[in-house]
Structure 1
């Protein structure tokens, strides 16, 4: 049995590669959906010598199957947002503690101690539905921050404005995490000049606004909030880990997560760095579902391993929680 603490203590490429290969063997044996997919490709653990050899399960399987590598009782079902009548992805989670460990340690890796921040959340479209993994994460962050001012905002944006200005002027470190359309709504109503606040967008217009290129979105938000950089979070229903961008366009992964790109014309062929292709994610925190996922995002990986999101495959439905569409 794989110890999840070994996943979250990964500190080198060798550690990551060894753990990924071990988890592949485990999920091949225990995940019937993934096993069937690997069998169709004639891929067996004896064929897999490096992470580039591992098959990546198309993310659409989360819409049609229970993708599980565990027989434990299901503790939560996270679901994606979708238009009325559309089929949504469902991520069946048998151990919420693994998710907590992943997002807590991932945040700490990039931003330090959560208790140093007041967490303000502007996520109306997520609050208005059930099963959002983002709401679960941010709610835990609010509790972990231990600041009485931390909390969610829905329609009370004037109160949020007052809180932002007050906290920032007091010199408190603030993290405002919001869905893109709501942050745009806020800066259209109010102008800010913030010196101690991180603005973090989680992507997505949810059909509320015209989609913007991320650079255009960030330019508007930087001016509206009076900040030098806009941070971003990259996550999705089907993952239990996040990548973060601190405002320079590229995302960096937590130590137990990696991104590769595949040829847009040949889904089974991986590409070298700096070429645009389909985003494949290795998320070792997905120990109890599937750690190897081929997403519908298009992106590019830099030589240092960071990545940028370019858009989505045209044929895929637009799910706005994790990117801006060109």
Structure 2
């Protein structure tokens, strides 16, 4: 199945039609997803709208090879996990789809990447292999074409100096960091930033006590001297990201949509503003599964934006952009 037209979607009608096309394709070509649909007695003839589509529980990426293509695997992205835990594996058949997705998604929300110096503070991700976030940020750093763009591991002093120097010069800067590392740096240094976006990717990685997003953002705003904190919502099992420019309200690119499901009846899709489990349609997942039932709790607004309020109690905390309640 061709994927190029996925990134040409311009309205809700085009999205729905493409989502139904992708569902039929994955029903036929993804044996894991087909078996799941068969267990639910769901056949393409039963599916009239995206609300009818079965959403594959995200844990299947831990126990199965979720693929819709026999093409050679170009990369395997893995989730972070505690020692001995089972991690999710996303078998990526075409890295160019992922690259198109995150480049177009970033441009939609933030404009030309070349306008920014990208500084990355992602120590826990850099210290392991298979991080889709590190892959994305590395490509964005290269695409920025700024000599000052780059990763920082533990050298908070060098990062502090660079951040203050760039901000004072009027250069637009994006500092993207895992939550605990952003907290670490503002405990050592103080900032008053005027030209810098601070973007958290969530996750304390066992380094600190988990905080609700509002509390985390309040601390980061004060420490960096900024009025808002941005957030990135992504995960190993997805090839697209949603971004928040403040207040924890995320927006998606045109090829991605979020729905909420009843926590007691997974097949029941809820109306807007009701809290439930988050189901994600990511059409960039053309070669794996585009219909994912996550372990995240949240609500979706009438305009398609969404908020994340926590995780199911029995789900493991791992490397996506979430604050546990």
TM-score greater than 0.5 by the shorter chain? yes
Q: Deviations over 1:260-308 (max 9, x none)?
A: 0000111111111111100000000000000000000000111221111
Task: Spell out the pairing of 1:204-283 with structure 2 (5 A cutoff).
Answer: 204-283=203-282
Structure 1 stretches of 4+ with a deviation exceeding 2 A read: none
2:20 is aligned to: 21
Offset at residue 321 of structure 1 (A): 2.4
Give the distance between the partners of 1:89 and 1:295, measured in 2 at CA. Answer: 12
Give the distance between the partners of 1:39 and 1:303, measured in 2 at CA. Answer: 32
Offset at residue 6 of structure 1 (A): 0.4
2:137 is aligned to: 138
Indicate the SS of the match to 2:274.
Answer: coil
Q: Deviations over 1:115-147 (max 9, x none)?
A: 000000000000000000000000000000000
Give the distance between the partners of 1:144 and 1:198, measured in 2 at CA. Answer: 18
| 1:288–1:306 distance in 2 versus 1, CA, 3 Å | same
1:114 is aligned to: 113
Indicate the SS of the match to 1:247.
Answer: coil
Q: Is the Cα–Cα contact under 8 Å of residues 214 and 247 in structure 2 kept in the other structure?
A: no
Give the distance between the partners of 1:199 and 1:259, measured in 2 at CA. Answer: 24
Indicate the SS of the match to 1:268.
Answer: coil
Q: Deviations over 1:54-97 (max 9, x none)?
A: 00000000000000000000000000000110000000001000
Task: Spell out the pairing of 1:85-104 with structure 2 (5 A cutoff).
Answer: 85-104=84-103
- Do residues 151 (structure 1) and 139 (structure 2) align? no
Offset at residue 248 of structure 1 (A): 2.5
- Do residues 10 (structure 1) and 12 (structure 2) align? no
1:285 is aligned to: 284
Task: Spell out the pairing of 1:46-195 with structure 2 (5 A cutoff).
Answer: 46-195=45-194
Give the distance between the partners of 2:172 and 2:21, measured in 1 at CA. Answer: 40
Give the distance between the partners of 1:8 and 1:214, measured in 2 at CA. Answer: 31
Indicate the SS of the match to 2:130.
Answer: coil
Give the distance between the partners of 1:86 and 1:249, measured in 2 at CA. Answer: 29
Give the gaps of 5 or more residues in structure 1: none
Offset at residue 320 of structure 1 (A): 3.5
Offset at residue 182 of structure 1 (A): 0.2
2:301 is aligned to: 302
Give the gaps of 5 or more residues in structure 2: none
Indicate the SS of the match to 1:269.
Answer: coil
Give the distance between the partners of 2:59 and 2:187, measured in 1 at CA. Answer: 36
With normalisation by structure 2, the TM-score equals 0.99
Give the distance between the partners of 2:4 and 2:286, measured in 1 at CA. Answer: 12
Offset at residue 155 of structure 1 (A): 1.0
With normalisation by structure 1, the TM-score equals 0.99
Q: Is the Cα–Cα contact under 8 Å of residues 235 and 319 in structure 2 kept in the other structure?
A: no
Q: How many residues align?
A: 325
Q: Is the Cα–Cα contact under 8 Å of residues 32 and 64 in structure 2 kept in the other structure?
A: yes
- RMSD between aligned residues: 0.6
Give the distance between the partners of 2:234 and 2:66, measured in 1 at CA. Answer: 18
Give the distance between the partners of 1:57 and 1:29, measured in 2 at CA. Answer: 15
Indicate the SS of the match to 2:25.
Answer: helix
